[in-house]
Amino acid sequence: MYIRVAEQKDIAELINIISSVFKEFDFIFDVNVELPDVINFKDFYGNSEHTLFVMEHNNNIVGCGALRLDKTGGIITRVYLKRKFRGQGLGKRLVNHLIDFAQESGAKHLSLWTDTRFTIAHNLYSSLGFSRTKKQRPLNDVNESYEIYFEMNLYKTRMHN
């Protein structure tokens, strides 16, 4: 497994991966509504605040995760992994990569929003040191999505779980 910064050539495969996750949960998927950042890859990820990473196995993309850094810390988004690669510690490795990247970039705090229905992801984030908060928000979308807010304070001595 190898994690690298995404490139324009990766976009079609990333859209396929994310749309397949939506199908698993019987969500309606409209790429223009759900992935404006990915569709406008160069404009969105072409600056220093936003970085999209891909995880590869045998030269095939199996997952992704994004990170936005600003003065207040970092926000993790777009964490997706192909179904057949889950349960092998790869999600943990991917999120640890995002945490390490944020920490190395000077972030002191990380946060993320995740759909209330992604319970396995909730367990992953908690196991890595994120605290689940009571904050929830509706997305007011066709999938009737609600998200839960997780956060983490970063310290130089953070241990990989």
Does the pTM exceed 0.85?
A: yes
> Does residue 69 carry a pLDDT above 80?
yes
> Does residue 16 carry a pLDDT above 80?
yes
Beta strands in 29-161 (DSSP E): 50-57, 60-70, 73-81, 109-115, 131-138, 146-153
Report pLDDT for 160: 55
Mean pLDDT score of the chain, rounded to an integer?
A: 93
Report pLDDT for 51: 95
Report pLDDT for 47: 75
> Does residue 161 carry a pLDDT above 70?
no
Structure confidence by residue, pLDDT tens digits, 112-150 = 999 999 999 999 999 999 999 999 999 999 999 999 999
| Average pLDDT of the residues in 56-82 | 94
In the chain, the percentage of residues whose pLDDT exceeds 70 is 96
Order of strands, sheet of 73-81, starting from the edge strand that comes earlier in the sequence: 2-5, 50-57, 60-70, 73-81, 109-115, 146-153, 131-138
> Does residue 30 carry a pLDDT above 60?
yes
By DSSP bridging, strand 109-115 and strand 73-81 are parallel
Q: What SS3 class is residue 131?
A: strand
**Contact at 8 Å (CB) between 44 and 8?**
no
Confidence of residue 157 (pLDDT cuts 50, 70, 90): very low
